[in-house]
Structure formats: C-alpha cells, structure tokens
Structure 1
Amino acid sequence: MTRKLIALDLDGTTLNADSKLNDPTIQTMQRLQAAGHIVSIITGRSYQGSQAIYDDLQLQSPMINFNGSLGHLPHQNWSSEYQFTLNKAIVLALVKYREQLGINEIIAENKNSTMTAGQDLIAGKFFPQIANSPRLTPETLTRNPNSLVLLVQLDKRSAIINWINDHFGDSVDVGVWGGPNAILEVTSKGVHKAKGMAYLADYFHISRNNIIAFGDEHNDLEMLQYAGLGVAMANGTAAIKAAADDITPYDNDQNGVARYLNQYFDLAE
C-alpha cells in the first residue's frame, strides 16, 4: 500500500476521556509505523505536554506542537525544525493590561519553557507544566514565544478578542477553545495545524491525497479540510463533522482512531 501520513490530534481524539492512551491505540500506531507509514502527532499542546504520549506510542516521526507553530523531532536535532513566534511586545501589552481586560492568567510557551502571569484555578488541569514555572514579566520574557494562552473571564471574552484584533490583528490570530472554559489561544497570523501537517507531507514527499487526519475540535478544522481523508471523531463538534470526509463510528473513549485505522488498513484486531 502507498505510504500514508497519519496525523493525530491528541485531546478528544487519540487520547481517552482521562487524557490517556488505551493499549489498542498504542498497538495500532506501532503496527502502522512498522509498515512504513508516517504517524505524527499534530497538537495544540506544548512539547512538554505531549512528549510522554509521543514516547508511549514509540514514534520516530517529527511532531507538530502549538497548533502548527513548532515542528521538531523529539529527542534529536532535526535540521528541518521550524518555528513561528509571537512578538514579545504583544505578550507584554497583554501582561500590562491583564487585569483591566479581564484576563485571569497568561501562559507563554516555547519548546522547552513555560512562563505565567496571573492565576486561574483551572489552569493546572490543562497545563500541569505551569506548577513551578517562572513569572512572566518584562524582565523575564527575553524571547518571542511560540504560543500564548489566555484564561479569561467568560463575560469579557468577546471584548478581549476585539481588543487583541484591534491592536494586533495584522500579526496574530485568536482562537477560542471549545467546552465550558473560557480559554483563548493567540498564534502567529495564518498558522494552524494544516500548516504543520503540509510541511511534514512535503518533507516526506507524501501527496495530500495520501494524508489521513483525525480531529474533534475547532483547531482541527484546517487540518481535516487539507487532508485527503479528514476524519472527525464521533464525539467531535458539529462543525468538525460537517467539514470532515468521514466520521469514526466510535468515540475517543472507545479507541475510535485505532478502530478506524484497523479497518482502513485491514489490520486484524
């Protein structure tokens, strides 16, 4: 069979409801990799927040973090590593007006570092790496970050988005996390998961029609649209399902990705 690029979102897709890998998922990915396919994680998570999953899957492929802002080969120097960053002046403006705007916490991340300003009770649930992270101040922020996450007051969310777009809309995009929590993601303009996925496909000389991508949320949209076969999870949002070429019969708690791939590649379970 022609070599495929299999692009995996993590949360709500490859991971179960407890944000863990089920054994059948690990086994399927290892078999596909052994068969010569490229299995790659393409996630909004940081490298720190996804490295253990990469290792558990025993992948050897490059990984895309921060929704396309960082492409690298874990544990190795990769001459084709790339990154997109945000101008630190934007970050510092948000730090300066944080309380006034209604932003509870700001999390700025690079490949190997995390810095925070402010505090939010739910932050640790999504970003365990912030527990002992240094404070984000004009003195400590010495480089442009790959990613910026804002935990905001829900009733101020629209106003914060408008403020960012008014001041910096020509250089950044603002994404809204799904679910009940008011979380915004600020990325370099025009950067999304599809950009990272296309970069990998080009690197491995794999055509678009040989890309299979899986996702469940808004930040997977461009990736599913770009892939030759964009597959939404059974637990995915209505918008993602509408945009996808196919939908898994099973959700992320039922090994939906692994079952779909086992059937697609005719692997005996």
Structure 2
Amino acid sequence: MNMERKLIALDLDGTTLNAESQLNSATIQTMQRLQAAGHIVSIITGRSYQGSQAIYDQLHLKSPMINFNGSLGHLPHQTWSSEYQFTINKAIVLALVKYREQLGINEIIAENKTSTMTAGQDLIAGKFFPEIADSPRLTPNTLTRNPNSLVLLVQLDRRAAIIDWITERFGDQVDVGVWGGPNAILEITSKGVHKAKGVAYLAHHFQIPRRNVIAFGDEHNDLEMLAYAGLGVAMTNGTDKIKATADDITAYDNDQNGVARYLNDYFNIAE
C-alpha cells in the first residue's frame, strides 16, 4: 500500500452512489479500509448536509464534509474550529422571490447547513431535494440570514433569459451553474466558489500536498476539483467534458462500484 497519506475526495451522485443513489457494501468496505490506513476520505458534494448526512454515517467517516459545491465545510456531528462557509446575499434571494413568476421560476430553494426554505412549487423538486418536504416558506420575513446555496427550478424555455437577468444584476457577486440532464435546474453560488475550494481547504488543513489528492467525479460541477487534484479521476459514466479533462477514467461505472474498484487497484487492496 502506498503509505503517503492521501486525501480522497468523493463526489456522491453518479460517482460514489449507485444508480439508486445508494451505497454498495463494497464501497463502504473500501472507504473503511482506507480510513483505517490513515488516509482522509472526504465527501465533496453539491448536496445539502441534510441530503448527505446519512451517506456520511453509512461510510463511518470521521473527516470533514464539503456541501453545496464548496460553500460549506464542516465536521458532521461535531464542532470544528475550522468550519467555513460562503453565502449568497439575501437581497439577491429576495429579488428572485419577488420576480419569481414574472421570470418563469417555478421553485426557489434556499439552504443552509441546517435549514431549507422554499418559494413556489415544482413537481420534480422533491425527487432531488427530499429535504424540502414541509419546509418553511421563503419570504422577506422568514429569510433572516444569507443562505449557502440557492437552487432554481425554472421553465426550460426561459432558462437563458433567467441566467441573463441574474448575471446582469448580480454577476459580480454570484455564479450561475446549469444542471446537466433534462431538468431545467439552476444552481447559484457565491462568486468563485466550487468544489476545488473545499478540497484545497481540506488539503491545506491536513497538510496534504496536491499531488496526494485523488478526486472522483462525473459531472460539470466536478471539473475544478478534478483539475485541482494530483489525480483527477472521471467516472466511465461521466460526461464527455469531464472525461476529457481528467487524468484517468474508471474502468467500471457507478453501478459497478467503479470508485471502490479503482481505489482497490490503486492501493493494491485485495478485494
């Protein structure tokens, strides 16, 4: 086993999780062994803390977790003096709430480490954000602090116009990301924040050089993280763009324990 300590950065959906968004037991076993060997195994996800805590617990991790694509870095179940967060000015959120219907935004989801608020409604929202069930309404009165993450479920034919509207007014403060796939979902983050920020923060915290960072991903929001890592590994089920940018590609997809099998090979762990 390569004994230099590694930071292993794991994207969840389409990468560490299978097609049912679950963990396979082989994946849990591999991560346990690597953690026991002294490596840092860390989840780096676009998901909220509520949406990823169960997976963190199933993997029995002890490491910090990065949520909302780099906007929040924290140590689950504990206070961590190095916790950080990037937020979006609530004035921007309230402007979107105000012009929501006019712009063609079906639903707005604003999230923090422990809270979720919504305005409007969209049929597919619950599929991606189970935590929005029974969430309080997002209004000027209820939004008392700046959120870490803002997700907009928009009408597809209005998507480009909505991006322009946000960029024109708030482009110096936020970035707008477009979700891949058939659903018209926009993700708004604090300017310049992406997963690589979170990974770099952890690498610095644990004094792990970039060459000892191994990152796995499958989608556009993993690009910066894979580029930052000494070894950026794209899933074979990943997008063409991510596969073109990565240092390596897994032989197996996320339904065949692609990440675990890659790491077992890399660290020479017998399966």
| TM-score, scaled to structure 1 | 1.00
| Equivalent position amino acid for 2:30 in 1 | T
SS of equivalent residue, structure 1 residue 178: coil
Report Cα offsets for 1:98-118 as digits up to 9, x if no partner. 000000000000000000000
**Of residues 109, 118, 121 in structure 1, which corresponds to 2:120?**
118
**Of residues 137, 150, 153 in structure 2, which corresponds to 1:151?**
153
How far does residue 56 in structure 1 lie from its aligned partner after superposition? Answer: 0.0
Report Cα offsets for 1:141-175 as digits up to 9, x if no partner. 00000000000000111110010000000000000
Structure 2 residue aligned with 1:127 = 129
Give the whole-Å Cα distance in 2 for the aligned partners of 1:124 and 1:3.
Answer: 39
Give the whole-Å Cα distance in 2 for the aligned partners of 1:55 and 1:49.
Answer: 12
**Of residues 161, 164, 175 in structure 1, which corresponds to 2:177?**
175
Structure 1 residue aligned with 2:56 = 54
How far does residue 17 in structure 1 lie from its aligned partner after superposition? Answer: 0.3
**Of residues 68, 71, 83 in structure 1, which corresponds to 2:70?**
68
SS of equivalent residue, structure 2 residue 270: coil
**Of residues 1, 8, 11 in structure 2, which corresponds to 1:6?**
8
1:23 paired with 2:25, answer: yes
Unaligned 5+ runs, structure 2: none
Structure 1 residue aligned with 2:233 = 231
SS of equivalent residue, structure 1 residue 52: helix
Structure 2 residue aligned with 1:88 = 90
Give the whole-Å Cα distance in 2 for the aligned partners of 1:249 and 1:154.
Answer: 34
Report sequence identity in percent: 86
Report Cα offsets for 1:85-135 as digits up to 9, x if no partner. 000000000000000000000000000000000000000000000001000
Give the whole-Å Cα distance in 2 for the aligned partners of 1:159 and 1:21.
Answer: 38
Structure 2 residue aligned with 1:218 = 220
**Of residues 33, 43, 46 in structure 2, which corresponds to 1:44?**
46
Give the whole-Å Cα distance in 2 for the aligned partners of 1:56 and 1:235.
Answer: 24
Q: Find runs of 4+ consecutive structure 1 residues off by over 3 angstroms.
A: none
Number of positions where the alignment pairs a residue of Structure 1 with one of Structure 2: 269
How far does residue 264 in structure 1 lie from its aligned partner after superposition? Answer: 0.2
**Of residues 103, 106, 109 in structure 1, which corresponds to 2:108?**
106
Structure 2 residue aligned with 1:77 = 79
SS of equivalent residue, structure 2 residue 22: coil
| TM-score, scaled to structure 2 | 0.99
SS of equivalent residue, structure 1 residue 78: coil
Give the whole-Å Cα distance in 2 for the aligned partners of 1:28 and 1:177.
Answer: 30
SS of equivalent residue, structure 2 residue 34: helix
1:268 paired with 2:266, answer: no
SS of equivalent residue, structure 2 residue 116: strand
SS of equivalent residue, structure 2 residue 188: strand
**Of residues 231, 242, 258 in structure 1, which corresponds to 2:260?**
258
| Equivalent position amino acid for 2:264 in 1 | N
How far does residue 266 in structure 1 lie from its aligned partner after superposition? Answer: 0.3
How far does residue 19 in structure 1 lie from its aligned partner after superposition? Answer: 0.3
How far does residue 255 in structure 1 lie from its aligned partner after superposition? Answer: 0.3
**Of residues 179, 184, 187 in structure 2, which corresponds to 1:185?**
187
| Equivalent position amino acid for 1:121 in 2 | L
Superposition RMSD on alpha carbons, in Å?
Answer: 0.3
SS of equivalent residue, structure 1 residue 257: helix
Report Cα offsets for 1:6-50 as digits up to 9, x if no partner. 000000000000000000000000000000000000000000000
Give the whole-Å Cα distance in 2 for the aligned partners of 1:167 and 1:121.
Answer: 28
Give the whole-Å Cα distance in 2 for the aligned partners of 1:268 and 1:181.
Answer: 40
